[in-house]
Amino acid sequence: MTTDRTDAPFIIVGGGMAGDAAARGIRMVEEDHPIVLLTTEGSGPYDRPPLSKDPLASDLAERVDRQTSSEGVDVRTRARVRRIDRKGRRVVLQDGEALEWRGLVLAPGARPVVPAWARVPDGAEDLEVLAFRTLEDARALAGRVEEGCVPLVVGGGFVGTELAAALAKSGHAPALAYPEDAPLGRVLPDPFPRLMARYLEGLGVELQPGTAFRSTETLASSAPEAAPRRGGAPGGV
Ligand SMILES: Cc1cc2nc3c(=O)[nH]c(=O)nc-3n(C[C@H](O)[C@H](O)[C@H](O)COP(=O)(O)OP(=O)(O)OC[C@H]3O[C@@H](n4cnc5c(N)ncnc54)[C@H](O)[C@@H]3O)c2cc1C
């Protein structure tokens, strides 16, 4: 963080858990000074980890909300920072608005990697790929599942495995594809991946071990049997 004593607010770029923690940290030492938090998302900071544990919960948004604005923070949603003017000590937003800062915190996090094979070519309306990271992604997934789509979860790491288990426990058992022999095979030692495979199968998840996608066509052919043509394929990233 760079600092300078002016009347300008503290500006936080990023509405994730780090952005929220920064706001609370500043508030502990600056009781009244204005703090502006900018996020590209449609809601203020929230806890991301619960998203993959209970993605279909109807009260998900309320449960994960970190209530950052209750700390007297001006939370601005759908506000993308396009440029940082270090000399002028201001950030410039996508819509051209410029905001000066007294102190600037950068907490822009990360975005899911969407590999080339998961990018749906024009005209392939029967295949939809959702990356899974945000509250909006969870809402989109819930919408597809309610329409009757059977998802193919791609990725047997923590997020993909949690997502598959949570969907199955909600009565919407998906397929789960991963290149390893068992889910969590890359992150946990034996026997845990084998135990996890047994657990997921018991929940009704269709396991697809040894699956490394190379093209959108192979992705489409892995869609679960029961999937309607417009099946969702959330990336467990
Ligand atoms: C589904 C899921 C489950 C997870 N489960 C766990 C778990 O169980 N345990 C665990 O330890 N970790 C878990 N994680 C990881 C953990 O959630 C992340 O490490 C954490 O959210 C990172 O927080 P962050 O604030 O640094 O970044 P992010 O959460 O990525 O937030 C970055 C924010 O910056 C904003 N932003 C980016 N660019 C700009 C810009 N130009 N202008 C304005 N705003 C911008 C974005 O809109 C976003 O709001 C999980 C992650 C996911 C997605």
Q: Report pLDDT for 3.
A: 53
Q: Is the peptide bond before 191 cis (omega within 30 degrees of 0)?
A: yes
- Decide if 179 contacts 211 (C-beta within 8 A): yes
pLDDT digits (tens, 9 = 90+) for 18-42: 999 999 999 999 999 999 999 999 9
Confidence (pLDDT) at 235: 44
C-beta separation of 178 from 211 below 8 A:
yes
Domain ranges of the chain: 2-106, 116-235
Ligand 1 binding pocket mutation candidate from 17, 48, 63 (most atoms within 8 A of CB):
48
**Helices marked H in 30-127:** 50-53, 60-64
Q: Please state the atom number of ligand 1 nearest to the C-alpha of residue 41.
A: 47
**What is the CA(56)–ligand 1 centre distance, in A?**
19
Q: Grade residue 231 by pLDDT with cuts at 50, 70 and 90.
A: very low
Residue 39 Cβ < 6 Å to ligand 1: yes
The span from the CA of 30 to the CA of 50, in Å, is 31
Right CATH for 2-106 from 3.40.50.1980, 3.40.50.2300, 3.40.718.10, 3.50.50.60: 3.50.50.60
Positions of E strands within the chain: 2-3, 10-13, 35-38, 73-76, 81-85, 90-93, 98-100, 103-106, 127-131, 152-154, 175-177, 206-208, 231-235
Q: Is the pLDDT of residue 234 over 50?
A: no
Asked: is 116-235 a CATH 3.40.120.10 domain? The reply is: no
Q: Do domains 2-106 and 116-235 have the same CATH topology?
A: yes
Of all protein residues, the one whose alpha carbon is nearest to atom 26 of ligand 1 is 109
- Say how far apart CA 72 and CA 99 lie, in whole Å: 18
Instruction: Output the CA–CA distances (angstroms, integers) from residue 154 to 63, 88, 115, 162, 202, in the order listed.
Output: 26, 45, 11, 12, 19
Q: Given the structure tokens 């998203």, which residue do they identify?
A: 51
15 Cβ closer than 6 Å to some ligand 1 atom? yes
Give the tens place of pLDDT for each residue, 194-207: 999 999 999 999 99
Q: What is the ipTM of this complex?
A: 0.94
Which residue has the CA at smallest separation from atom 6 of ligand 1? 49
Q: Tell me, using a 6 A CB cutoff, whether residue 18 lines ligand 1.
A: yes
Residue range 127-155: average pLDDT?
92
User: Helix %, strand %, coil % for the chain, to 5?
Assistant: 30, 20, 50
